[in-house]
Chain A
């Protein structure tokens, strides 16, 4: 199959457009997923930190060692007063 000069330009144009579209979709996709993972109150299973598997067997072999119950997100101690106000039953 022979590709004409015009046809070749079209291919290049479509390829460039495709790359731009890929970049745009990746940006939108990453923004969307980041928003989901950053929202501290929507993915809420905070009180389950107590039953998380321990991370460091050397330091955390005691199930009642409170020092080992570490969670990197949704920790009550990291919430703002406004967020705690919403959760607190007075």
Chain B
């Protein structure tokens, strides 16, 4: 009887250890896994861009589709590779593919914003050149009883978003995720006037990089 109890206890500990290790192993995807997951999500939800109607936007959409058709299976095959050297090459290629996919997505979102589609956000600088940063302002926090609370955030990237009616607005994302208005000081900046966003040279750079226009 004692033998059975001891055996059962050991088996229980073994079971717990195995399940813990197994669970931990599945929770830590690599950077490449996450990048591939994002590429797959773009491919799966490609119909989300179907509202784009401009000729240039359609061209970008077609280029993105072709890009994903090639990049996704290549990355999937490559990540099965267990050879260290080969795997390093895969990780590098996947990183480049991921960056390109993000650029395509950003450009397509820009076309959506230009068409007045609601609730779309992109980096105001299109992640090209010098980053556009500003402070956000939360009026609810500013009017709190705490005299030290100014309602201002630290400097963060500026986003160009659209509201319910497709109207453009600039926003800063605070640490809770909320998209705040710019601080009064930043609202007065010329480089953050809506007519200057996104900066023309950044847009040109992005379109050229992706082959949507020739320079």
Contact = CB atoms under 8 A, between A and B. Distances in A.
Contacts of B23: 25-26, 29-30, 32-33
Of A26, A41, A67, chain B has the most CB atoms within 10 Å of the CB of A67
Contacts of B117: 81
Nearest to A59: B99
Contacts of B159: 76
Residue with the greatest number of chain A CB neighbours at <10 A, chosen from B8, B171, B177: B177
Contacts of B150: none
Nearest to B27: A33
Given A66-B127, A77-B102, A87-B179, A14 B7 contact: yes
B22 A29 contact: yes
A88 B14 contact: no
B176 A44 contact: yes
A53 to B, nearest CB: 13
B152 interface: no
A74 B34 CA distance: 12
Given A88-B179, A89-B179, A69 B27 contact: no
B123 A66 contact: yes
A30 B129 CA distance: 41
A38 B19 CA distance: 20
Contacts of A72: 31, 34-35, 37-38, 98
B20 A46 contact: no
Interface of B: 3-4, 7-8, 11-12, 14-16, 18-20, 22-24, 26-27, 29, 31, 34-35, 37-38, 41, 48, 95, 98-99, 102, 105-106, 109, 117-123, 125-133, 156-157, 159, 161, 163-164, 171-181
The list of the 7 closest CB pairs from A to B, nearest first, reads A29-B23, A25-B19, A81-B119, A26-B22, A33-B27, A66-B131, A72-B34
Given A70-B102, A72-B98, A85-B118, 9 more contacts: A29-B20, A30-B22, A37-B29, A47-B177, A50-B131, A64-B130, A78-B41, A84-B161, A89-B171
Interface of A: 1, 3, 7, 10-11, 14-15, 18, 21-22, 25-26, 29-30, 32-34, 36-37, 41, 44-50, 55-56, 64-67, 69-70, 72-82, 84-85, 87-90
27 contacts: A3-B3, A18-B14, A18-B15, A21-B15, A22-B18, A25-B16, A26-B18, A26-B22, A32-B23, A44-B176, A47-B172, A64-B130, A65-B130, A65-B131, A66-B131, A66-B132, A67-B128, A70-B99, A70-B102, A72-B35, A74-B177, A77-B105, A77-B122, A78-B38, A81-B119, A88-B161, A89-B180
